[in-house]
Amino acid sequence: EIVMTQSPATLSVSPGERATLSCRASQYVSTNLAWYQQKPGQAPRLLIYGASTRATGIAARFSGSGSGTEFTLTISSLQSEDFAIYYCQQYNHWPTAFGQGTRLEIK
């Protein structure tokens, strides 16, 4: 099974600054990589799929990049509502696998 590893576990960033989150797959997953945002007490929300395509209604400050085994989620200018936990997920191989999450907190 593919293991997804996210780093860092916790990222402290000030509002208005850029945040960069990383995700690594233990095997090649092409660009079949998604990012989800989860706020406390809420369900996850799809942000990015295909490694770099924003889902419907997702703000342009969210961008994804990478292919193969290394991926990045960048939030260009953090807003207060962006502080949450972010998960990456590979959907190239059965079974799908999620990373353990990166908690983005206010600095």
> Residue 94 interacts with another protein (CB under 8 A)?
yes
Closest distance of CB 21 from another protein, Å: 14
Select from 22-30, 58-66, 70-78, 95-103 the region that touches another protein (CB under 8 A). 95-103
Q: Which of 22, 52, 72, 98 binds another protein (CB under 8 A)?
A: 98
Stretch that binds another protein, among 13-21, 34-42, 62-70, 74-82 (CB under 8 A): 34-42
User: Helix, strand or coil for residue 81?
Assistant: helix
53 or 79: whose CB is closer to another protein? 53
User: SS3 of 12, please?
Assistant: strand
Residues of this chain that bind another protein (CB under 8 A): 32, 34, 36, 42-46, 49, 55-56, 87, 89, 91, 94-101
